[in-house]
Amino acid sequence: MAGQSARSAEELILKKMASIRRWKKTNLYKAQSKWDFQFTIMTYNILSQNAVDKHRYLYRNCHPAFLQEDYRVSMILPEILKSKSDIICLQEVEQNLFNRMKQVFDSKGFDFLFKARTGSYSDGCAILWRKKKFDLVQEKAVEFRSSSVPILDRDNIGLIAVLKPNHPKFTHLLLHVATTHLLFNPRRGDIKLCQLRWFFAELERLSLKKVTDVKRHYHPIVLCGDFNIEPDSPLYEFIESGSINVLNVMSGDLSGQSDGKNKGKLINGQNLLLHKLGIGDASRFEEQETKSKNPTTTPKASTSSKSSSEAKDAREIFLPHLWTQNLLILVFLLRLVLPMIPGGSQLY
């Protein structure tokens, strides 16, 4: 009887959740697909158990039984599988939990990658994909801590999977799926900006298909994750438009989080330079510039007036020119649930 009562209570909770949280379907992508190859993708920050236990005060209105790991796993796994997604990006996945999840996802035909955060943290990011639909061609894990760049002193990471469709018509296609969980601190948008730029440089290097006299051509990219930014923030504008001006900007204003507004410190452009990592002002590895057949025809926005090694300060920072036209953003923002496609992007 006790077991039946527990199941009945869970069913009641699920029904209540379904009535409160309703998925909104859109026709956003119907006009975007150029090929007859369809797939579904989801991103989900599942909240690490360590964070739950460490910050219980945030969940004081939640029944303690619902905060237990076994219960949370029993609810999260069905939620993920119910989406029937072909690609799944997860954040705040603890290593021991991922080991448990692997058995379930393996039985459902998924393959997977996992990268834990550096330092003493036990959680990280994961990318999963259906083996019948994709093969893994390449993987790249990015650790955002660097002893050569003082501002990069946090243990966040990023993960990239290069997937090839298991379809005879699209074997030439390489889908670049990237996920990350950026720093939360509302007052340190400057760190988030540098983490983003490093991640984008790695992603740009992997996704570059070819370079002509006119422009660079990229494989399609899907960017997923928890960025801890607001949708109307300068950092999101940076991702969407490809540039950001940091002159006279407070570090707490970059992410748009209310707790950081007018806080932090005035950004020092010198601290944003990543040339010691080989990354220029265009958020691209400087070695990539040499791949251009005719550098003089490279669009102006893709380079700064001086190389990063020569620049004394970074006041305006760019993303690689035209790169965002191949970028689909599917990220967890603080006030946004719908995916955005910047720059007239297309899913190839």
pLDDT-based confidence at residue 224 (cuts at 50, 70, 90)? very high
Strands (E), the chain: 41-45, 87-94, 110-116, 123-130, 134-143, 157-165, 175-181, 208-211, 216-218, 221-226, 243-245, 316-318, 327-332
Of 343, 330, 26, the residue nearest 177 (C-alpha): 330
Contact 106, 146 (CB under 8 A): no
pLDDT-based confidence at residue 132 (cuts at 50, 70, 90)? very high
> 């019948």: which residue's tokens?
132
Amino acid, res. 106: D
Q: What is the mean pLDDT of the chain?
A: 82
> What pLDDT score was predicted for residue 337?
34
pLDDT digits (tens, 9 = 90+) for 260-297: 999 999 998 888 999 999 998 888 998 765 555 444 43
> What pLDDT score was predicted for residue 319?
73
CA dihedral 62, 124, 163, 205 (to 10 degrees): 130
Contact 111, 146 (CB under 8 A): no
Residue 28 has pLDDT above 80, yes or no: no
Burial of 314 (0-12, 13-18, 19+ CB in 10 A): buried
> What pLDDT score was predicted for residue 323?
60
Residue 144 has pLDDT above 70, yes or no: yes
Tell me how far CA of residue 136 lies from CA of 19, 130, 131, 333, in angstroms.
38, 10, 9, 28
More confident residue, 35 or 218: 218
Q: Calculate ∠ Cα 148-235-324, nearest 5°.
A: 95
Residue 305 has pLDDT above 60, yes or no: no
Of 307, 316, 314, the residue nearest 285 (C-alpha): 307
pLDDT digits (tens, 9 = 90+) for 64-122: 999 999 999 988 999 899 889 999 999 999 999 998 889 999 999 999 999 999 999 98
Kindly report which listed range (20-29, 106-115, 306-315, 328-337) carries the lowest average pLDDT score: 306-315
> What pLDDT score was predicted for residue 45?
95
Q: What is the mean pLDDT of residues 119-136?
A: 96
Of 270, 269, 305, 309, the residue nearest 286 (C-alpha): 309
Q: What percent of the chain has pLDDT over 70?
A: 75
How many whole angstroms separate alpha carbon 75 and alpha carbon 142? 30
More confident residue, 24 or 294: 24
pLDDT digits (tens, 9 = 90+) for 161-209: 999 999 888 888 899 999 999 999 999 999 999 999 999 999 999 999 8
